[in-house]
Amino acid sequence: MRMFLISDNVDTYTGMRLAGVPGVVIHSRSHLREQLTKAFEDKGIGVLLITEKLGRQFPEIIDEVKLGRRLPLIVEVPDRHGTGRDPNFIMNYVNEAIGLKL
């Protein structure tokens, strides 16, 4: 199984290409849907990498795909500006998951 990147910027795309991961750069909702459809049709893609910025810009599309499909696995990756998450996001996640404040 291969990985494929859908990015919102050229820098992340270039970095992943240097690591051997093919991908595309998109800037619109319609282009995102088009590229997702192409990725789903390619049965060789097992992991679909999407930049966190796209996840924040189009959450309804990404959530729809995550909830409605088993493959490919969708992983949101930080872009060159870093993660948009709170610095304590792991601790907050654990606190919410188990109901205890650590």
With a cut of 70, say whether residue 36 has pLDDT above it: yes
Higher-scoring residue by pLDDT: 77, 100? 77
Residue 100 is encoded by which pair of tokens?
A: 């205890």
Q: Smallest Cα–Cα separation from 56: which of 22, 26, 85? A: 85
32 φ/ψ sector (left φ>0, alpha ψ -120 to 50, else beta)? alpha
pTM exceeds 0.85, yes or no:
no
Residues 6 or more apart whose CB falls under 8 angstroms from that of 57 comprise 8
Tokens 């606190």, located at residue: 95
With a cut of 80, say whether residue 99 has pLDDT above it: no
Domains of the chain, each with CATH number or no CATH: 2-98 (3.40.50.10580)
What is residue 90's predicted lDDT score, i.e. its pLDDT?
63
